[in-house]
Amino acid sequence: MTTSQPRPASPTATPDTSNSGPAPGFEELGLIAPLLATLAQAGHKRPSLIQVQAIPPLLEGKDVLVGSQTGSGKTAAFVLPMLQKLTEAGPAPGPRALILEPTRELAAQTAAVCRQLGRRLSLKTRVICGGTSREQQVQSVRDGVDIIVATHGRLLDLVMQADLVLEHLTYLVLDEADRLLDEDFSASMTALTPYFPDQPPQTVFCSATLPEPVMDLARRVTRNPVRVEIAAESFTPKNIRQRAIFVEKDDKPETVARLLKHFEGRSIVFARTKNTVDALAKTLRRHNLRVETLHGDRTQGARNKALDLFRQGRVPVLVTTDIASRGLDIPDVDLVINMDMPETPEAYVHRIGRTARAGRKGVAFSLINIDERTFLRDVEKHIGYRVRIATEDSLDR
C-alpha cells in the first residue's frame, strides 16, 4: 500500500500523565460548548483515560495512533475532535471525514455515535456499506454529507464509479485496524489512495493491539503520530466465572442447548464458521429456544434485525461468528459459550469480554474437544491462570 506522500515512520511517545494529579474534565480538553452540552445531557461527567490522552493532540491537528481495547471510550475519543474541527472549518462540496470500519455493524454503531454526539451541530453523517441499497446510499451522498462511515468494499465501489468524491477529506480514521490487515483491505486502500486529496488528511489509527504487522501499516498511513496506548488486556475480568467442559465435537450442539436451558438471561454462543452457526441455530430451535444468528452471509437488514431483537431482550440467544466478538455495544450479557474455540487467545479474551461489563457478573463456558486441549493451555498462559474444568453436573460451582 502506498500513500500520496512519504511519511516518517516513528511514532512519538505520549507523555506519562499517570501522576499528574486529578484527571481533567471535558471542559479542560478544549471542546466547544455544543459538544460539552451534549456530553453533559448524556451524563458523561468525566473523560476516560484514552479520551484525556487522545483529544488534545487531535484538536491540535496531529495524527494519533490509538492502542486501546473495546470499552475504553475510543470512539468518542476520535469522534469529538472530528466534530469540532469540521464545525470550525465550515462546509465543503463533499465529505470531509471518513471513518473506515471492518464490519457493517461497527459502521452503523460508529455512525450512531457521530450523530448522538453531534446532534447540536449542523453535520450530516452517512453510512456506506454493503448489504443495503446502493442507490439509496448514492442519493444520501447527493443530499449532502460531512462524515462518511464505511466498509471498504462498498466505499471503493462508489468512489471508482464517481458517485463519491474524497478530494475534500481532512480527517481519516482507520478503526479496529488490526482487523483490516487482510488482502482485500490492503488492495482496497491501494486503490483508494489516488482518490484522496494531495494534502494527506489528519489520520487516526486505532487498534486493540499493536504488533509489528499493525505498526507497519500505521507507519505507512500516519505522519509523526502521537502514540496513545492503554495497556492491552491479557487478563479477563475477575467477575467472569470461566469454565471448560470436555466434550466430543459431535456432542457440542446438544451440550450448548442444555447449558442455555440451565442458565437464564441473555446469552451469546460463538461458533467458528457461518455454516456451524446456522446448523447450531436449527438445533437450538428444535429445543424450543428463541435464537437469532449473526454472520457475514446474512443480509444487512437481517443482521440489524437480529442485533435489535437481541439487544431489546426479545430474543435471549445470539449465535454468531467472531463478527460479534469486538466493538459492538451489547449490554447485559449474562452467559458466553464458546462452542468452538477461537483462533487466538486474544480472541478468547474479546469473546468472553461480551459478559461482565459495567461491573456486572458473568459466566463463560468453553466446550473443548480433544483437538482443542492444547489451545486451552495457550489461553491459560495468556490470561495468567487456570480455567476450571467443569462437568454438566457441576455447572453452578
- Taking the complete model, does pTM exceed 0.75, yes or no? no
Task: Kindly state the DSSP code that residue 356 receives in the 8-state scheme.
Answer: S
Place of cell 502514540: 227
Residues contacting residue 239 through CB under 8 Å, at least 6 positions apart: 356, 359, 360, 361, 362
Range of the structural domain that residue 270 is part of: 240-394
The region, left, alpha or beta by phi > 0 then psi within -120 to 50, assigned to residue 144 is left
Instruction: Kindly state whether residue 30 falls inside one of the protein's structural domains.
Output: yes
pLDDT band of 127, cuts 50, 70, 90? very high
Same domain? For 225 and 244 the reply is no
Closest CA to 179 of 9, 296, 50: 296
Q: How many CB atoms are located within 10 Å of the residue 384 CB? A: 9
Q: Which of 169, 203, 229 is the last residue of a domain?
A: 229
Residue 348 belongs to domain with CATH number: 3.40.50.300
pLDDT (mean) for 133-162: 94
Instruction: Kindly state whether residue 4 falls inside one of the protein's structural domains.
Output: no
Instruction: Tell me what percent of the residues of the chain surpass a pLDDT of 90.
Output: 61
Same domain? For 35 and 176 the reply is yes
Instruction: Tell me what percent of the residues of the chain surpass a pLDDT of 70.
Output: 91
Give residue 208's pLDDT: 76
Instruction: Kindly state whether residue 6 falls inside one of the protein's structural domains.
Output: no
Q: How many CB atoms are located within 10 Å of the residue 115 CB? A: 16
Higher pLDDT, 264 or 256: 256
Cβ–Cβ under 8 Å, residues 111 and 127: yes
Same domain? For 88 and 152 the reply is yes
At 22, list the grid cell: 486529578
For the segment 371-396, what is each residue's pLDDT rounded down to a tens digit?
Answer: 899 999 999 888 888 899 999 888 87
Q: How far apart are CA 310 and CA 293, in angstroms?
A: 10
Same domain? For 187 and 307 the reply is no
Residue 71's identity, in one-letter code, is G
Residues contacting residue 333 through CB under 8 Å, at least 6 positions apart: 265, 266, 267, 268, 354, 355, 357, 362
- Across 208-212, 327-331, 374-378, 384-388, which has the greatest mean pLDDT? 374-378
Q: How far apart are CA 220 and CA 257, in angstroms?
A: 47
Query: Over 70: is that where the pLDDT of 363 sits?
Result: yes
